[in-house]
Amino acid sequence: MNVLDLKIIKQVRNEGKNWILYSTISGKNTHFFWRERQFIGELGIETDLVSTRPPPRAIASHVWAEEAQKNTIYLFPFAAKDFINSFLEVLKAGRAAWWQCLAVIAKARDTSLFEKVKLLALVLVAGKLARLTKIKGWSHIHVHSCGNSANIALFNSILTGCTYSITLHGPTLEVYGSNQEQKWKNAAFAIVISQLLLNDVKNKLANFLPKQLAVAPMEVNITEIKRSSPYKPWQEGSPCKIFACGRLNPVKGHKYLIETVELLRNREFDVRLQIAGEDEQEGSGYHQELQKIIEDKSMSECVELIGAVSEQRIRQSLEVANVFALASLNEGVPVAVMEAMAMEVPSVVTNVGGTSELVDDGVDAVLVQSEKPE
């Protein structure tokens, strides 16, 4: 179940550091973050949870989501007292720390003037985190992102001396915004989830990488994620059930999977597709576009968007599926594919990102080209 490199974890534990796991930073309470926290706890490392903002209710579907939100400290929304306390915290850090924060912003070579102003605002957000760091006695922050949450942790390290580390989940470095050089250079260590991403990072940030850099993909617990009954292949004359799981975002390629189902049905295969996942707008964003595609193609009876569902519901769907399919245009190392393979469901997935590091084509699953419904 572990994500972090064991050598790094044990080093932190031996140094007696108290960790704050900055894991729900995107506000999504992703299930593998929760599993990671449990694993770290088993190693005897105490963790707290901090996030930039609460997750949208529509995507907080896991059974532990309510518990996670109760135990998470959120930096936003920013109340009036937060502005005052954060400003005072920045002042208390001293002139040298303030100038160091400004130096980081000035060295951000890949940022526009607007982005530099945004970085300046994040110093104030870091002031709130700095106050929490002192109150809670945190000594290290692990950030499950290379985005603005990493900038906040960077500024917090300047204000308080609390070290931080980052994980790059992919699918690419570019999606995490600017100031990457400073985020990585000042990190105590960094983790990437695939060899492909590691090569990319080394190429783009060669002189700005921390001394400790590890490849550690997400994993699934195969003692929990397993079938309760033997797999039954599709029988001609009955519906062929295809299951897909992934947030409703164009990068997941769901529209191409829907087109694939259309092609199969035109060839008189009774194929039924069920897609689990929700968009970042709680159903009012890309969900609506996909639903319109389904309706325009008159496929409402054979394609179903079931929204964000619990891990238990996903396993139930995998249990009865004949095929798992993932049509992503890019990926890090997809956990959804790991779970499908753990459930022994024949899988057809696009050969993108680090997927080929997970799948031996034709053995574990079948790899296909992306954006090619045929």
The domains of the chain are located at: 6-215, 240-368
Topology match between the domains 6-215 and 240-368: yes
Whether the CB-CB separation of 189 and 329 falls below 8 Å is answered with: no
Neighbours of 18 (CB within 10 A): 15
Cα 330 off chain centre by: 13
Summary mean pLDDT of the chain: 89
Q: Mean pLDDT check: name the lowest of 31-45, 270-284, 354-368.
A: 31-45
Whether the CB-CB separation of 179 and 116 falls below 8 Å is answered with: no
Residue 162: pLDDT above 60? yes
Q: What is the CATH number of domain 6-215?
A: 3.40.50
Residue at token pair 């492909």: 196
DSSP designation for 56: P
Of 138, 121, 33, the C-alpha closest to 83 is 121
Rounded average pLDDT over 304-310: 94
Q: Enter the pTM of the model.
A: 0.86
Query: Mind listing the pLDDT tens digit for each residue in 250-267?
Result: 999 999 999 999 999 999
Rounded average pLDDT over 308-322: 94
Q: Quote the pLDDT of residue 39.
A: 78
Query: Mind listing the pLDDT tens digit for each residue in 12-22?
Result: 555 544 545 44
Residue at token pair 């309470």: 29
Sheet containing 189-192: order of strands: 72-74, 47-51, 19-22, 140-143, 163-168, 189-192, 212-215
At residue 201, φ and ψ (nearest 5 deg) are: -65, -45
Q: Quote the CA–CA distance of 259 and 350 in Å, as a whole number.
A: 15
Whether the CB-CB separation of 8 and 45 falls below 8 Å is answered with: no
Query: Mind listing the pLDDT tens digit for each residue in 326-345?
Result: 999 999 999 999 999 999 99
Q: At what angle do helices 113-136 and 95-107 cross, to 10 degrees?
A: 140
Q: Mean pLDDT check: name the lowest of 33-37, 54-58, 144-148, 354-358.
A: 54-58
Q: At what angle do helices 148-160 and 95-107 cross, to 10 degrees?
A: 150
Confidence category of residue 63, pLDDT binned at 50, 70, 90 = low
Identify the helix (H) or strand (E) that includes residue 49. strand 47-51
Q: Quote the CA–CA distance of 357 and 215 in Å, as a whole number.
A: 12
Confidence category of residue 124, pLDDT binned at 50, 70, 90 = very high
Residue 4: pLDDT above 50? no
Q: What is the CATH number of domain 240-368?
A: 3.40.50.2000
Whether the CB-CB separation of 259 and 373 falls below 8 Å is answered with: yes
DSSP designation for 86: H
